[in-house]
Amino acid sequence: MKTSRTVHATLMVSAAAALLLGAGCASTPPTAEKMATAPMGTVTTYHRKSSGSLGTFDGQVVWTHAPATWQGKPVIAFGAPQAGVALHDPATFGMLASLNPAGQPLMSFDPPIDYPWPLQVGKTWTANHTVTLYPSGRTVPTKIEGKVESWGDVTVPAGTFKAFKLVWTMNGNEFETRWINPAEGLATIKRHVERPATHPQGAGVLDAELLSRVLPAK
């Protein structure tokens, strides 16, 4: 009986020690100050599936990072033949404008749409923007409300990545969840967008996952 009690006590001490060591080794969610910029020529490929007002599509979308200009200033262009071009400020990574696949302006954003730097788990934000719609010439006020929900692993076809999970709403009727890793320059690892039937453009759903990222040869 004494031996049994001794073994039991030893196991309990070992278990407690393991818990303490595990707690001590647990990773603390980081703080991200800005988005690292991937080298020009980087190619990121996603699988995108969308429907309704977000467009009917099921296939690969291939984005290439390239230098460009917008209103006479240098910008970073993320261009995909299947989706058009997104123009970003090279210093802040804020999204300045979007172009259609033919290179014609679709929308611009004032101020640029950006993540709420620095990113920390639990942080909430509200941002107001004016969106210019070039085909119609109209301007539309846009309000974004979001939260940095968590930090952890996200698994996609390209592999498993550490990522911040961000959730936000746009004008209260478009809902997005996005996983990003700023330190690796991954502005999107995975995303999910939903528009209800009450959205001005109607219901729609979009899902995208990273398939691969190829850096240019040095």
> Tens digit of pLDDT for each residue in 179-201?
999 999 999 999 999 999 999 99
Q: Poorest-confidence range of 13-27, 131-145, 170-184, 201-215?
A: 13-27
The residue that leads in pLDDT, 135 or 25, is: 135
| Residues 95 and 114 sit within 8 Å (Cβ to Cβ) | yes
Buried b (16+ CB within 10 A) or exposed e, 112-149: bbbbbbebebebebeeebebbeeeeeeeeebebebbbb
Read off the pLDDT of each residue in 139-153 and give the average, rounded to a whole number. Answer: 98
The yes-or-no verdict on residue 20 having pLDDT over 60 is no
Return the amino acid letter for 1: M
Q: Could you tell me the CA-to-CA distances from 23 to 14, 18, 20, 161, 192 in Å, in that order? A: 14, 8, 5, 22, 32
The pLDDT assigned to 27 comes to 65
Mean predicted confidence (pLDDT) in 106-126: 97
Per-residue confidence (pLDDT) for residue 96, from 0 to 100? 98
Interval 148-168 mean pLDDT: 98
Instruction: Tell me the average pLDDT across 91-95.
Output: 92
pLDDT at 218: 78
Report the chain's mean pLDDT, rounded to a whole number: 89
Question: What percent of the chain has a predicted confidence (pLDDT) above 90?
Answer: 83
User: pTM, whole model, 2 decimals?
Assistant: 0.85
Distance CA 130, CA 145 (A): 15
Cα separation, 98 vs 60, whole angstroms? 19
Q: Which domains does the chain have, with CATH numbers?
A: 29-214 (2.40.360)
| DSSP category for residue 53 | T
What pLDDT sits at residue 12?
37
* pLDDT at 19 > cutoff 90: no
pLDDT at 199: 95
- Which residue is associated with the tokens 């001794």? 6
pLDDT greater than 80 at residue 17: no
11 pLDDT tier (thresholds 50, 70, 90): very low
Provide the pLDDT for residue 187.
Answer: 95
Q: What are the φ/ψ torsions at residue 118 (nearest 5 degrees)?
A: -75, 150
Averaged pLDDT for residues 69-78: 96
Mean pLDDT confidence for 159-172: 97
Q: Is the pLDDT of residue 68 over 90?
A: yes
